[in-house]
Structure formats: C-alpha cells, structure tokens
Amino acid sequence: MTQSGASRLRVLWAGWRKSYVSGETYPEENIQSPPASSIFESIFTGESDASTNYVLYEGTFCAAILNKYPYVSGHTLVLPKRAVPDLTRLSNEENAELWEITNKAVKAITEAYHPDGINVGMNIGKAAGASIPEHLHVHCLPRWEGDTTFLTSIAEARMIPETLTSSYQRLKEVWPAG
C-alpha cells in the first residue's frame, strides 16, 4: 500500500493479442483481417477450415474449440456458432447446448489432464475484460496447485508445455460421446 492507502496496480501487457482481437492487417506478418462476421463465426460458416481452428466438438447451435492463445495447455472455449454478445440474447436451444458442451469440456479436460481444479468463466462486455465482446465464449482451463511459475511472476510470460496440436489431440481422444 502506498501512503495514500491505495495499492499500486501493475499492468501486464499482451500486445501480441491486439492484431488477433481487432482484426488488424500487418503485411510483414501476413496477418489478414477477418471477414465482416466475428472471428469465431468464420470457423462455422465454411470461411475457414475447422480442423486448423482446433474444433473439438460441434453441436447444432454451439461448439467447443481450443483457444489459439491459451493461458495453459488444454484451454478450451465453448461458444455459440453465431455472434451473441451476452447470455440474454441466446435462444433457449443455444443456452441449453452451451452449458451441455461446457460440461463436456470440463469432463474432457479432467480426463486428459487430471488437474487439481478447473476454471470455468466468461467475460461479458469489454468493461468486464472480453477481448471479443461481440461473441461470448466460456473459458474452461485446467489448473494445478502452484501452477503460477516464476516466469509468470517475474518475467510476465507464460510457458505452455505442449503444442496446440498436442493439446487438441489429447482432448479429442477423450471428448465425451454424444
């Protein structure tokens, strides 16, 4: 605490995410802007290849995909196929399927990773921390006792111990049927 009684807020910068969430184009990096739909919608409209987007499960209204920018291995996103900014705008069918698939994601993460715990949550709206506020998504992450390493604490970096392809295969192998 400072003398004024307020603690000093540390800012952790993740500038590498800016082009991903805003759709900016950088010719030198060959990053292309997404189509008019949300970056998630393009996965399910045939505008991009589902296999290269690590789609773990696709239902009628919602799906589960591996997060391409994970906080830990196995970081899964469950989302409606259409861009919906908040829970109140989901249809009854989307709402039911979103939570059904979230339950499957938790089961798959538990089976594949045997974590000490699992975080399940969402940030609704930009002010709540949503990086893609126009398309809600549920984060499902395995967690372990003491999984914050010195890299996160000191170097402000994360170390992901497996490739996205490895995480994808691991979760696909144990994804619950049905």
Active site residue 135: no
Q: Give me the residues paired with residue 143 across strands.
A: 117
- From 75, 135, 137, 139, active-site residue: 137
**What residues are annotated to the active site?**
137
